[in-house]
Chain A
Amino acid sequence: MPEITVIEAVRAALREEMERDPTVFMLGEDIGKRGGVFLATDGLIEQFGEERVIDTPLAEASIGGIALGAAVNGMRPVAEIEFADFIWPAVNQIIGEAARVRYGTHGRRTAPLVLRVPYGGGVRGGLFHSQSIEVAFAHQPGLKVVAPATPYDAKGLLKSAIRDDDPVIFLEHKRTYRLVKGDVPDGEYTVPIGVAEVKRAGSDVTVVSYGLVLHYCLEAAATLAEEGIDVEVVDLRTLRPLDTDTVLASVRKTSKAMIVHEDTKAGGIGGEIAAVIAEYAFEDLDAPVMRVAGPEVPAMPFSPLLEAEFMPSPEKIAAAIRKLAAY
């Protein structure tokens, strides 16, 4: 099994799906000759031509709306939003329209589109190249929201997203693109949407996470193992629909739960997970559910010490787990 990066996994999934299905095409800013600002689409215009790899004008509403129209009319568009921070003009078409197409037409039309969205911070991106935007979309029934952390999951989930008959927001954490490497089999495989995975088994504390900071949780777990704290790390992978079964099974085993995400704490996914645990596993708990998450400031600052203050880190996570384990 070759070891590849997340960005290579994304690119491989795109290429293979374009080869497999002629209705798959891509649109977005600078995705043609430039290959995308992160090179996710590098080489694809050469292979598939400018008819199927469409450089759009700099207009995000059109990327969302045109992808939606094409999806409703039998195609499987994969649109790229250059940075999550620029997705807001497309929200009208994605949350407002695409999410409601199946319901609002009583099933007469569907919108099998994928919106690939590089998101997240820790990349010196400042206020407008670091945003976590997942809750806005994960709140909306009708959408599916996927946030892989590893190359294996990124490739397998992107393939599932492209084959899915509903609109999927596919979140790619920018910092994982080249930082995170992993084994990916040569052959064809997919990873199912809506299924979380225990990335590290443990018996003392459950830590639920996704995206970049999932790796920080795994680092913290490795550190704590040496201290005799056995941490189980659950990777949500899909943020809507949530795989609450996997989360609850883990919590029932460990009796202690923590949620870690980079997104702001109040109103984040962690609140929903904590509520699900309180609702269905209250009697299994030996401690309050805890959260490590982004602080209550509007966005991630640019300067390195300020950025570090915002980001969860393996150290911050380990410190919080120690407290929870000792409770």
Chain B
Amino acid sequence: MTDADLLEMYRTMVLSRTLDQRIWQMNRQGRAAIVASAQGHEAAQVGAIRALDPERDRFYIYYRELTTMLALGITPLELLLGFLAKDGEPLSGARQFPLHGAIDRSRRDIVSFSNVVATQLLQAVGVALADKMRGEKRVTVAYFGDGASSMGETHEAMNFASIHHLPVIFFCENNKYATSVPLSRQMNIESIAARADGYGMPGIEIDGFDPVAVYEAVGAAAIRALSGDGPTLVEAVVERFLPHTSDDDDTRYRPPEELEDIRKFDPIPAMEKLLRSSGALDDALDDEIKGSAQKIVNQATEDAENAPFPEPHDFYEQVYAPGSPGDQS
């Protein structure tokens, strides 16, 4: 990875954090109904996308993928429109929670049909099966949390993908909590990646605070997928800096020492330090990166606030195919 690559990742992480903080703030002001923050997951998400091809590959995300979305080219304004349920939101016509729905396929194959955890894993496997049947060389990435790893569908997805050597990357962002339930109450093992063995595929556990390590692991998984060798389970260990969502209160279940502890290391200042020590970043450039993130987010906030809510004019459309039985449009 060149300094330019690292700087690019740093820029996206800074933008993501700035936007994330803004959305959280807007929730507290009663302007954004619900937020699941990506703070703490930024390095893992940006590192993974760096190893993939946004045009070629397919992304079955879950709700905590703010940095992934930015890294894939979805704009802060589009994302804010989603968080405010405004017209012009790019995923669901503001019918769904933020970050749910699908981006126009001509632009990016980013999909998140529902809030129901782990459903996207089987869908991603079906998507990859279709690509394999047509001989298309693409990687499908299924994003999920440690909590979703307990779902039966996760097992079914990994099993099938491995049987058929499908080009899938199972990308687990292990923040050690499923809402309030800690890892020790979710599983009697230390590593989710270790389960890969049971499916006959490689599993790799990496430090999700290190974007370069994530980049390398996902890169290797992508090569394996594209050469027809099958899926990989990549587990990026991260921290969830904020409560599960804006409706949660993590002080009810995380001891104060733990909450203090997890913030001792933050991947964004760590990246800044790394870049400064290599000489790739100086005060002027850092000011520019942070200042421009602030400016972009301020402008997007203003534009999103001014955007109207969608009218229910197409409320009855897209239930069935146009003109097909049952269509009410």
Q: CB within 8 Å of B: which residues of A?
A: 25, 51-52, 56-57, 59, 61-62, 64-75, 77, 89, 92-93, 96-97, 100-110, 141-142, 144, 164-166, 192-195, 238, 240-241
Contact check, A106 vs B122: say whether CB atoms are below 8 A apart: no
Chain B residue at minimum C-beta to C-beta distance from A89: B152
A70/B127 contact (C-beta < 8 A), A59-B160, A65-B156 known: yes
Contact check, B319 vs A68: say whether CB atoms are below 8 A apart: no
Q: Does B324 touch A at the CB level, under 8 Å?
A: yes
Quick one: which of A59, A92, A166 contacts B321, CB cutoff 8 A?
A166
Q: Which of B275-329 contact A (CB under 8 A)?
A: 317-321, 324-326
A108/B102 contact (C-beta < 8 A), A65-B126, A141-B319 known: yes
Contact check, A93 vs B95: say whether CB atoms are below 8 A apart: no
Contact check, B133 vs A75: say whether CB atoms are below 8 A apart: yes
Q: Does B91 touch A at the CB level, under 8 Å?
A: yes
Output the least CB separation between B248 and chain A (Å). Answer: 23
Count residues on chain B whose CB falls below 8 Å from chain A CBs: 45
Contact check, B160 vs A56: say whether CB atoms are below 8 A apart: yes
Contact check, A105 vs B92: say whether CB atoms are below 8 A apart: yes
Quick one: which of A68, A73, A102, A238 contacts B122, CB cutoff 8 A?
A68
Quick one: which of A57, A92, A240 contacts B159, CB cutoff 8 A?
A57
Quick one: which of A72, A97, A102, A110 contacts B119, CB cutoff 8 A?
A97
Alpha-carbon separation in the docked complex, A218 to B160 (Å): 45
Contact check, A73 vs B127: say whether CB atoms are below 8 A apart: yes
Beyond the given A102-B321, A141-B326, A142-B319, could you list 16 further A-B residue pairs with CB under 8 A, ordered by the A residue number? Answer: A62-B157, A68-B123, A69-B130, A72-B127, A74-B130, A92-B119, A93-B119, A96-B119, A97-B114, A97-B116, A104-B113, A106-B95, A106-B318, A144-B326, A165-B324, A194-B325
B 115-129 to A, binary, CB cutoff 8 A, 1 in contact else 0: 010010111111111
Chain B residue at minimum C-beta to C-beta distance from A165: B321
Contact check, B125 vs A66: say whether CB atoms are below 8 A apart: yes
Contact check, B321 vs A110: say whether CB atoms are below 8 A apart: yes
A166/B320 contact (C-beta < 8 A), A72-B123, A192-B325, A240-B326 known: yes
Alpha-carbon separation in the docked complex, A106 to B130 (Å): 23
Q: Does B53 touch A at the CB level, under 8 Å?
A: no
Alpha-carbon separation in the docked complex, A200 to B116 (Å): 46
Alpha-carbon separation in the docked complex, A240 to B326 (Å): 8
Q: Does B205 touch A at the CB level, under 8 Å?
A: no
Alpha-carbon separation in the docked complex, A193 to B326 (Å): 10
Q: Can you list 14 A-B contacts with CB-CB less than 8 angstroms, sorted by A residue number?
A: A65-B121, A69-B128, A69-B129, A70-B126, A74-B130, A93-B119, A93-B153, A96-B119, A103-B318, A104-B100, A105-B113, A164-B324, A193-B325, A195-B325
Quick one: which of B96, B121, B319 contacts A102, CB cutoff 8 A?
B319
Alpha-carbon separation in the docked complex, A67 to B123 (Å): 8
Q: Which of B58-112 contact A (CB under 8 A)?
A: 58, 91-93, 95-96, 100-105, 111
Which of A66, A74, A193 lies at the interface centre, i.e. has the most chain B CB atoms within 10 A of its CB? A66
Alpha-carbon separation in the docked complex, A215 to B325 (Å): 26
Output the least CB separation between B95 and chain A (Å). Answer: 6
Output the least CB separation between B162 and chain A (Å). Answer: 11
Output the least CB separation between A162 and chain B (Å). Answer: 14
Alpha-carbon separation in the docked complex, A73 to B109 (Å): 10
Chain B residue at minimum C-beta to C-beta distance from A167: B320
Contact check, A75 vs B92: say whether CB atoms are below 8 A apart: no
